[in-house]
Amino acid sequence: MKKVIVHGGAGDFSKADHDIAEYKEGVENAAQAGYDALATGNALDAVIQAVSSLEDNPLFNAGTGAVLNIEGEVEADAMVMFKGHVGAVGALRNMKNPVQVARLVMERTDHVFLVGEGAYSFGRHWFDHYDPVTNERRKKFEELRSQFLKGDTRWKKNVNLYAQHGTVGAVAFDGDLAAATSTGGIWLKLKGRVGDSPLAGCGTYAGEKAALSATGIGENIIRSVFSKSVHDLLPTCSLKEALQTMLTSSPETGAIAIDFHGNVEYAFNTNNMAWALCDQGTVLSFEVDI
């Protein structure tokens, strides 16, 4: 039994800058790419391939097209977890695929988490310098920053800003479980801010009972230790029930998950969430008539 589920962010797609069908196509392609990686690899290969596909798609807030911080820079966060091993990067600049750097932290170092310039210097051993800022994101940044400098309290409106271009993630199952998440964070965040995505047990977790990747407002997900809390509710309740229980304590959150039996679930308390599942080669995804 082989399955890959991905997400491209939770929020309100009525506020999206692009046709919703484009987001649907993006997550479907990523789920298929992850599933294809299972043919010659394992669950870890699958989540890395799926998330890399989403990082390369400028529609999503990860890798190319990630949102900009208050200084007009991309600072990316990413994490992967597989068989009890973890690799993560935070506030990473100028890397094309942060999730691939996170994998190398897991496989090539004795550490778990590298941040900032240290993460960049490490990544440069394998990858070229890369500018992930797109013209569309630069234009949006200038608009938002102008409003911010005029006294518009944008921090109180980050839910709407974040929801347009969400964090990306993937969970895979082939007997083993793996999870990966990648994000550019929240528009106009302070330099050095790290969200939930690279924090084990918050935005990402893969344990004996289940694997999860979350999306939404990172501060809420961190405070609830969302993913590990869902994991630890099993098997006293179903995966669906565990997700719904934790959503009550984590506003503006969505998540995808697979348990150790191969059961797949997704849940969110936002208006929408972009997701796609490839189950034994068949792709299913969220509806576009929203």
Is the pLDDT at 17 greater than 90, yes or no? Answer: no
| pTM score | 0.94
Read off the CATH number of the domain in which 124 is found.
3.60.20.30
| CA-based nearest residue to 247, from 263, 232, 261, 227 | 227
Structure tokens at 143: 């608009």
- Give the position of tokens 């189950």: 279
Share of residues in the chain with pLDDT > 70 (%): 94
- Establish if 139 belongs to a structural domain: yes
Is the pLDDT at 287 greater than 90, yes or no? Answer: no
pLDDT (0 to 100) of residue 164 = 47
- Establish if 277 belongs to a structural domain: yes
Residue 288 CA, chain-centre distance (Å), reads 21
Is the pLDDT at 149 greater than 80, yes or no? Answer: no
pLDDT band at 271 (very low <50, low <70, confident <90, very high): very high
- Establish if 279 belongs to a structural domain: yes
Residue 90 CA, chain-centre distance (Å), reads 13
pLDDT (0 to 100) of residue 104 = 98
Enclosing domain of residue 234 = 3-285
**Separation of alpha carbons 165 and 137, rounded Å:** 10
| Catalytic machinery residues | 167
**Separation of alpha carbons 9 and 92, rounded Å:** 20
Is the pLDDT at 223 greater than 50, yes or no? Answer: yes
Structure tokens at 167: 């964090």
Is the pLDDT at 52 greater than 90, yes or no? Answer: yes
pLDDT band at 289 (very low <50, low <70, confident <90, very high): low
Averaged pLDDT score across all residues of the chain:
93
pLDDT band at 240 (very low <50, low <70, confident <90, very high): very high
Q: Please tell me the total count of domains within the chain.
A: 1
pLDDT band at 163 (very low <50, low <70, confident <90, very high): very low
- Establish if 129 belongs to a structural domain: yes
**Separation of alpha carbons 168 and 166, rounded Å:** 6
- Establish if 66 belongs to a structural domain: yes
Question: How, if at all, do strands 85-92 and 113-115 pair?
Answer: parallel
- Establish if 140 belongs to a structural domain: yes
CA atoms within 13 A on the CB side of 88: 24
- Establish if 159 belongs to a structural domain: yes
- Establish if 290 belongs to a structural domain: no
pLDDT (0 to 100) of residue 153 = 52
